[in-house]
A = this chain, B = another copy of it.
Amino acid sequence: MKLYDGGRAPNPRRVRIFLAEKGIEVPLELVDMGAMEHRSASLTKRNPLQRLPVLELDDGTILTETIAICRYFEALHPEPALFGKGALGSALVEMWQRRVEMHLFLPVAQVFRHLHPAMREWEVPQVPAWGEANKPKVFAFLRHLDEALADRPFIAGDDYSVADITGLVSIDFMKPAKLAFPEGLDHLARWYHTVSGRPSAKA
């Protein structure tokens, strides 16, 4: 198999961190997103939606979408479980992964895509008012997450999970989006220090 990787972009990084946590090595082919190579004929054939990452299996089967790729590896290599265990445990990881994705990852992406000059060719049309409207959404969810982290080490409970990966990548994505990590969210800061100190965070 081969993973078409997008370098510094947040979705490719989510998959690389996931693989590092699992201890799985997959051959990577770096696609230069800055040069718009993810919109090349070769990549468009593999993913008509022109997004990365793309996983190509040995028989040519294509799998796209970050979380779908992660779930595939979870099924092949169940340990350590990053999508939770048991009916309720798995559902709670899914709940938190989706909350973080919809209320943090996506709003940070909107701020970046609609306000950063480098995104002019990527997000057509840029709607700066929509970028601005997402800033308070980001900070409201960070406060919510801080409260949730008051009584547990990781976002979905006692164990590190894919929800922490999405959370870490979202917060690191705040830097290019020019959003400052807010003061006074001590539980969130403690969690961020822990997860960003894991070796996988360098992936």
Question: Which residue numbers of A lie inside 8 Å of B, CB to CB?
Answer: 48-49, 57, 61, 63-65, 67-69, 71-72, 75-76, 86-88, 90-92, 94-95, 98-99, 103, 125, 127, 129-130, 133, 144, 147
Give me 25 A-to-B residue pairs in the complex whose CB atoms sit less than 8 angstroms apart, sorted by A's number: A48-B144, A48-B147, A49-B99, A49-B103, A49-B144, A57-B88, A61-B88, A63-B88, A64-B95, A64-B99, A65-B98, A65-B99, A67-B98, A68-B92, A68-B94, A68-B98, A71-B90, A72-B87, A72-B88, A75-B86, A75-B91, A125-B133, A127-B127, A127-B129, A130-B130
Contact at B49–A69, with CB atoms within 8 Å?
no
- A75 CB to closest chain B CB (Å) equals 4
Most-contacted residue by chain B among A98, A127, A129, A144 (CB, 10 A): A127
